[in-house]
Chains A and B, each alone.
Chain A
Amino acid sequence: MSALTIDDLRSAVAEGSKTATALAGDFYTRIRQEDPEIGAFLTLCEERALAQAGRIDAMVAEGKPLPPLAGVPVAIKDVMVTKGVRTTAGSKILDNFIPPYDCTAVARLEAAGAVILGKLNCDEFAMGSSTENSAYHAVHNPRDKSRVPGGSSGGSAAAVAAEMAIATLGSDTGGSIRQPASFCGVVGLKPTYGRVSRYGLIAFASSLDHIGPFAKTVKEVALVLRTIAGRDPMDSTSADVPVPDYVAELDKPVKGLRVGVAKEYFGDGLDPEVRAAVEAAIQKLAELGCEVVPVSLPHTEYAIPTYYIVATAEASSNLARFDGVRYGFRAKSTTLSEMYRLSRDSGFGMEVKRRIMLGTYALSAGYYDAYYLKAQKVRALLTRDFDEAFKKVDVIAAPTCPTPAFRLGEKVNDPLAMYLADIYTVTANLAGIPGISIPCGENHEKLPIGLQVFARHFDEATLLRVAHAYERSSLVAGR
């Protein structure tokens, strides 16, 4: 099954050389072989997958025109609700939750013919950078099983890396798509805020949460983005901005595009091998005809503190809904107040409680101005940095993460060290600009390194085009 692409699989199904049902069966066989050692999946939904595969096979039999992702096996991070299929957000508080509706992005994938194999492991409520905060089990990086896959969408990245799904959906609130993509050696895209509807995404921090795709190649990521993007009346923050044909735009030349490089993303703490790989990738873009331009993003060092105030403040509010009343876990109790407390106490893990506490503190009387209001103002400065830079350049290139994948257990007892794993990714969430991570080499231990590219709001087309050009040139060089 190695090196199969969406195009290969769709053609096989369309030509009748493989039924969608048999294809889904192949992937379930592979998941049963591989996943016990990786831990990417939390729930398999074979019934739903085979029903969809059957519909596709019937269309093929009847000679009907096939949708763009017909028969393509995909999987979904378990923070997106799926009608009739258990959705946990990686938390014990939702251990038995069966959603009564579908997330828009999931519904759009299925409407485009994709076959949803199951739900993917993640940090509890997407809070974490290693997937070690899952209340169920850790995920092992397919490239080195002693290492984390990154997080919070660790299952989504690992499933693609281990070829247990062709494409997956993840969510990115501070880097949770791009960082695991970098750690697992796959492509991961966080679109512009408002590009993809958040309807049915279990909220962590509403002004920072994004849904986006993972796949092995830029073209496949473009295909999935084209499918899930666009205005959705069910999410008032989803933008009424036309969706270009991202796939058709991939092959446009990159010659003459201006690529910004900000020194703030190459400072202390950046692993020398990561630096060398990212600098070589930027050199490659120059060889492809891009103009490399120095830019400054002077407030970058304030991004992590700003992020951890804004994200936790929003989380403390969003997670108030988990109270044991309407769904989820309810602890045995004699009064309503006791019920709330005991349900939340035993339902939430330590990191979730830590963030609820930090966010509640930052919003509490006497501290609001010093923390939350201050962070909102610095958020404006960080966004202004990008606005200024994008007057001079079309995209900005940077490392996705300061290091390759770290070891399981390495940072689990030091929340601040874990937060710093997101140092190059959080700013794009605060500013709402799109960002992608694509593989750009390996270190001496064969651990993947990721190149990150940012673009202007709603300019995913240019972002994907640059990533695609780099990917093609590096494939040619590597073979």
Chain B
Amino acid sequence: MKVTDKDVAYVADLANLELTEEERARMLRDLNSILEYIERLSELETDKVAPMAQVSDRYGVDESRQGSERFAYAIREDVKDGLRKSLPHEDAMKNAPDTDGTFFEVPKVIER
């Protein structure tokens, strides 16, 4: 068993999940079984392999430039000269669970 009860509690905390006792027990079992399967990746020698985060840097990238300039192709026409129009405030608030009409309201953040 790689993952312990303590790990489950710690990770649930990081993920902002509470989880019932039953869910924690099931999570412990499932995570261990999945991680055991995933363990086979360690068979591969990868010291000299560069990590690949995504595939979209396979095209359009200007290798002659430095840093973020390499990705100039991705710069949006509509933001080159300043901010684009955003969603109207009223539309952005329409799905709010709780609002005073201007702001999203949430329970008290700072305890006195």
Determine if A302 is an interface residue (Cβ-Cβ < 8 Å): yes
Q: How far is the CA of A336 from the CA of B77 in the complex (A)?
A: 39
Chain A residue numbers with a CB within 8 Å of B92 are: 100, 326
Asked whether, in the complex, the Cβ of B23 is within 8 Å of the Cβ of A302, the reply is no
Our pick among B11, B73, B87 for the contact of A240 (Cβ within 8 Å) is B73
Determine if B67 is an interface residue (Cβ-Cβ < 8 Å): no
Determine if A340 is an interface residue (Cβ-Cβ < 8 Å): yes
- Given known A-B contacts A302-B44, A345-B19, A350-B26, A338 and B107 have beta carbons under 8 A apart: yes
- Given known A-B contacts A320-B16, A377-B46, A98 and B38 have beta carbons under 8 A apart: no
Could you tell me which residues of chain B, from 30 to 74, have a CB within 8 Å of some CB in chain A? 30-31, 33-35, 37-42, 44, 46, 49-56, 58-60, 73-74
- Given known A-B contacts A302-B44, A358-B34, A380 and B52 have beta carbons under 8 A apart: yes
Asked whether, in the complex, the Cβ of A240 is within 8 Å of the Cβ of B77, the reply is no
The residue of chain B having its C-beta at the shortest distance from the C-beta of A419 within the complex is B34
Q: How far apart are B1's CB and chain A's nearest CB, in angstroms?
A: 14
Asked whether, in the complex, the Cβ of A194 is within 8 Å of the Cβ of B16, the reply is no
Chain B residue numbers with a CB within 8 Å of A206 are: 54
- Given known A-B contacts A194-B59, A305-B37, A327 and B17 have beta carbons under 8 A apart: no
Our pick among B18, B46, B53, B56 for the contact of A342 (Cβ within 8 Å) is B18
> Top 10 nearest A-B pairs by Cβ distance?
A432-B55, A376-B51, A327-B95, A330-B97, A380-B52, A207-B54, A377-B46, A236-B74, A100-B91, A305-B38
Residue among B19, B97, B108 with the highest chain A CB neighbour number at 10 A: B97
The residue of chain B having its C-beta at the shortest distance from the C-beta of A379 within the complex is B52
Determine if A50 is an interface residue (Cβ-Cβ < 8 Å): no
Residue among A241, A308, A309, A376 with the highest chain B CB neighbour number at 10 A: A376
Q: How far is the CA of A350 from the CA of B38 in the complex (A)?
A: 20
Chain A residue numbers with a CB within 8 Å of B8 are: 357
Could you tell me which residues of chain A, from 304 to 334, have a CB within 8 Å of some CB in chain B? 304-306, 308-309, 316, 320, 323-330, 333-334
Our pick among B16, B34, B35, B41 for the contact of A323 (Cβ within 8 Å) is B16
Q: How far apart are A314's CB and chain B's nearest CB, in angstroms?
A: 10
Asked whether, in the complex, the Cβ of B56 is within 8 Å of the Cβ of A194, the reply is yes
Q: How far is the CA of A364 from the CA of B94 in the complex (A)?
A: 35
Our pick among A101, A193, A299, A320 for the contact of B55 (Cβ within 8 Å) is A193
Asked whether, in the complex, the Cβ of A457 is within 8 Å of the Cβ of B58, the reply is yes
Chain A residue numbers with a CB within 8 Å of B31 are: 354, 357-358, 361
Residue among B55, B73, B94 with the highest chain A CB neighbour number at 10 A: B55
Chain B residue numbers with a CB within 8 Å of A328 are: 95, 97
Q: How far is the CA of A458 from the CA of B64 in the complex (A)?
A: 23
Q: How far apart are A428's CB and chain B's nearest CB, in angstroms?
A: 11
Determine if A356 is an interface residue (Cβ-Cβ < 8 Å): yes
Chain B residue numbers with a CB within 8 Å of A333 are: 107
Q: How far apart are B3's CB and chain A's nearest CB, in angstroms?
A: 7
Chain B residue numbers with a CB within 8 Å of A373 are: 51
